[in-house]
């Protein structure tokens, strides 16, 4: 029974963090555009958003590092696709590398993405393979990523992930997150919750509830949420766990939420389960002031599953300073992503994690291109750290990659409606984002990230 419970918890962990935030193509594809002509023009230019010359021809020289030959640069893309059946990181890799190679590659070298499918439990095995064959890791993520950090640092493999999950991996050495959603010692949702409790719905501050899937990752997030709600001026009156794989009847949970008089609810888990909970709450005619659905719910499927609750309840998500797909009309980089998917992966869904992956790919490409023919791991690592206002070409708020702690304070809120997602009135003060609420450090962080020193190495060993 213990082994079975462990497998269930790990299964839920993968479902909760493996990018359940799919958006259908219909949410953002350009209308009335000649995708073929646009794709050809972009390929010739090698520009991405406001970044010029990201990819292009050149004199590639000779083999200069592991994974780098005179003709190719092989990088690894981590995924749990074999378990979750979610190909978002593989799709993003296909789109970016196809476009970059059409533009001439990285100084003439072809960019090759090798999928490292961890299938949830095989992170260490895939990392050993990546150490043997890849120049770097780019644009991926795995639910149980801590299982491979020791091997990655031991072989001095740089990582440019789309997402990081566990405390040993978040902020580990040789890891550069282009659009970090988590950094050590901080809850990324503090600004969002302060806005909720102090400005948007102050009547809810004394009656906040948290309901959390019972898995290792989300339990940690729940502890952080309790501290963050308190720091933002709220009071937790309801805090419960549910079986991470879901329940057949949400009525007891809905009755507890109602009996406790909960006015604002923080939810961690699979958005499909949240939709079922809301169906019961709505059927009871119990309306909360707000529900923090978490950005895994930022997809069209969630809105469809909500049914009547899409109008009756008030579902909000914080995109953490990342441009929504609906901003394509004003954000050229977002429009370009939509165009490139239409060109190179027309049947793929453009998810929130996939957008973060595109920023990671852009960062790697810019850093690698700047290194010229003598491409080395230390060069690409150090070049990336020169980006003190990285936006992924316009995909998200500016981030200082050399100094990610404390995190950038920007956030932006989307609201679910029967017609889809729309931007909430959250007091944006910097374009799409609001950036005037300083982050609040956690007193009880989940643990320290792994360092090179932990494996007997140092930066002087990186070549």
**Per-residue pLDDT at 2:** 38
The domain ranges of the chain are 2-185+325-404+451-461, 190-319+407-423
Full DSSP string of 268-322: ES-HHHHHHHHHHHHHTT---SEEE--GGG-SHHHHHHHTTHHHHS-EEEE-TTB
What is the arithmetic mean of pLDDT over 195-223?
91
> For residue 182, what pLDDT band results from cuts at 50, 70 and 90?
confident
Full DSSP string of 326-370: GGTTT-HHHHHHHHHHHHH-TTS---HHHHHHHHHHHHHHHHHHH
pLDDT of 160 > 60? The answer is yes
User: Do the two domains 2-185+325-404+451-461 and 190-319+407-423 of this chain adopt the same fold?
Assistant: yes
Helix (H, G, I), strand (E, B) or coil at 396: strand
Name the least confident of 81-95, 148-162, 435-449. Answer: 435-449
Name the least confident of 19-23, 144-148, 240-244. Answer: 19-23
**Per-residue pLDDT at 181:** 74
Residue with token string 């990181």: 89
Q: How is residue 199 annotated by DSSP? A: I
**Per-residue pLDDT at 445:** 66
Q: Which two tokens stand for residue 223?
A: 């502890």
What is the arithmetic mean of pLDDT over 7-36?
39
What is the arithmetic mean of pLDDT over 175-204?
93
Q: How far apart are CA 221 and CA 448, in angstroms?
A: 15
Q: Which two tokens stand for residue 291?
A: 């529900």
**Per-residue pLDDT at 446:** 67
**Per-residue pLDDT at 167:** 86
Positions of E strands within 27-94: 72-79
In sequence order, the β-bridge partners of residue 316 are 292, 415
Instruction: Identify the CATH class of 2-185+325-404+451-461.
Output: alpha beta
Count other C-beta atoms under 10 Å from residue 457's C-beta.
17
pLDDT of 12 > 70? The answer is no
pLDDT of 303 > 80? The answer is yes
pLDDT of 400 > 70? The answer is yes
pLDDT of 41 > 60? The answer is no
pTM, to two decimals: 0.89
Is residue 263 within 8 Å of residue 288, measured between CB atoms?
Answer: yes
Q: Which two tokens stand for residue 230?
A: 């308190």
Does the domain at residues 190-319+407-423 carry the CATH identifier 3.40.50.2300? yes
């Amino acid at each position: 029974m213990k082994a079975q419970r462990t497998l269930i918890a790990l299964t839920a962990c993968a479902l909760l963090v493996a990018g359940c935030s799919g958006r259908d193509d219909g949410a953002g594809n350009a209308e009335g555009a000649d995708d073929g002509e646009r794709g050809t023009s972009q390929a010739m230019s090698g520009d991405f958003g406001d970044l010029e010359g990201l990819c292009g021809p050149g004199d590639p020289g000779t083999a200069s590092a592991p994974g780098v030959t005179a003709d190719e640069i092989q990088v690894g893309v981590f995924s749990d696709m074999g378990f979750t059946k979610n190909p978002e990181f593989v799709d993003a890799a296909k789109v970016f590398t196809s476009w970059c190679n059409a533009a001439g590659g990285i100084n003439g070298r072809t960019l090759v993405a090798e999928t490292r499918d961890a299938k949830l439990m095989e992170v260490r095995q895939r990392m050993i393979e990546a150490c043997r064959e890849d120049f770097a890791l780019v644009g991926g993520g795995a639910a149980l990523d801590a299982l491979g950090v020791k091997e990655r640092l031991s072989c001095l493999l740089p990582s440019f992930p789309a997402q990081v999950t566990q405390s040993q991996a978040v902020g580990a050495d040789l890891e550069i997150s282009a659009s970090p959603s988590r950094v050590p010692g901080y809850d990324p949702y503090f600004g969002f919750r302060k806005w909720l409790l102090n400005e948007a719905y102050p009547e809810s501050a004394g009656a906040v509830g948290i309901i959390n899937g019972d898995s290792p990752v989300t339990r940690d997030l729940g502890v952080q949420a309790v501290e963050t709600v308190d720091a933002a001026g709220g009071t937790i009156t309801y805090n419960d766990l549910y079986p991470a794989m879901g329940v057949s009847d949400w009525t007891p949970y809905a009755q507890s939420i109602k009996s406790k008089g909960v006015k604002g609810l923080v939810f961690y888990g699979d958005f499909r389960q949240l939709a079922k909970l809301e169906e019961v709450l709505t059927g009871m005619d119990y309306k909360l002031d707000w529900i923090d659905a978490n950005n895994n719910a930022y997809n069209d499927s969630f809105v469809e599953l909500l049914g009547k609750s899409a109008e009756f309840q008030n579902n909000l998500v914080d995109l953490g300073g990342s441009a929504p797909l609906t901003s394509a009309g004003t954000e050229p980089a977002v429009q370009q992503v939509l165009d490139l998917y239409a060109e190179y992966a027309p049947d793929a869904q453009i998810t929130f994690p996939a957008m973060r992956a595109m920023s990671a790919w852009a960062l790697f490409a810019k850093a690698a291109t700047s290194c010229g023919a003598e491409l080395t791991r230390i060069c690409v690592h150090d070049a990336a750290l020169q980006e003190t206002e990285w936006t992924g070409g316009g995909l998200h708020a500016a981030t200082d990659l050399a100094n990610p702690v404390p995190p950038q304070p920007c956030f932006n809120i989307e609201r679910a409606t029967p017609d889809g997602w729309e931007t909430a009135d959250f007091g944006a003060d910097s374009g799409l984002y609001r950036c005037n609420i300083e982050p609040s450090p956690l007193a009880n962080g989940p643990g320290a990230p792994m360092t090179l020193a932990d494996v007997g190495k140092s930066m002087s060993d990186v070549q």
